[in-house]
Structure 1
Amino acid sequence: MTNSRVSALIGGIAPSATLAVDAKAKALRAAGESVIGFGAGEPDFPSPPAVVEAAVEAAADPKWHRYSPVAGHPDLREAIAQKTARDSGYEVEPGQVLVTNGGKQA
């Protein structure tokens, strides 16, 4: 069925292959199959309590109720640059760090 209210450009966008692979893996897992899913980056372990507590605290602070800067908060970009240098030995400037909510968005 064609919806004439959708432009040809938008109508031509293909569905996400990542989401399709993830849905298939979840369906197989639900059917009892042993599956190693590479479709989506969803951890198979709970978030550490300190991370959950920090998220709850941040959610209660109106300072965080707005959109973040497009490239990410400067303090977060600085922390990522420092962690990258510490853990991998790669020196990067905070200006070279881009914070996204996932690989597709990068």
Structure 2
Amino acid sequence: MDGSTRRTRFENRVELEREFLTCVNQRFGTHAPLAGMTGDAIDAWRVRAREAGCADEVDVVRDLLIEISKRAELIADHSRDVFDREGRAIAGALDDLRVMLAKAMSTAR
């Protein structure tokens, strides 16, 4: 694997993380902005979102963000053939997570 392939995967991961950060911050950013997609950043966001009076749905959003974060990490992984436990390719699983996150965000108050 050459350096450009690694860079492309890293750039794809960053782009993916920005996509989800933007989604969450459009809904919660005024009161509790999400600063990053690491587990610690997501957990800190959850605490702030709950303290800001956001609904319990933040727990569902938090769980989805943790899973998305793990998938994004796998995308940057050097192994090209990474699959989840059900045998689906990562890209398909991310599409499912996008839909689930959109649904959770629409029900959040």
TM category (shorter chain) comes to under 0.3
TM-score by length of 2: 0.26
Q: Which has the higher helix share?
A: 2
TM-score by length of 1: 0.27
Task: Choose between structure 1 and 2 for higher RCO, CA contacts under 8 A separated by at least 6 residues.
Answer: 2
Q: Which is greater in Rg?
A: 1
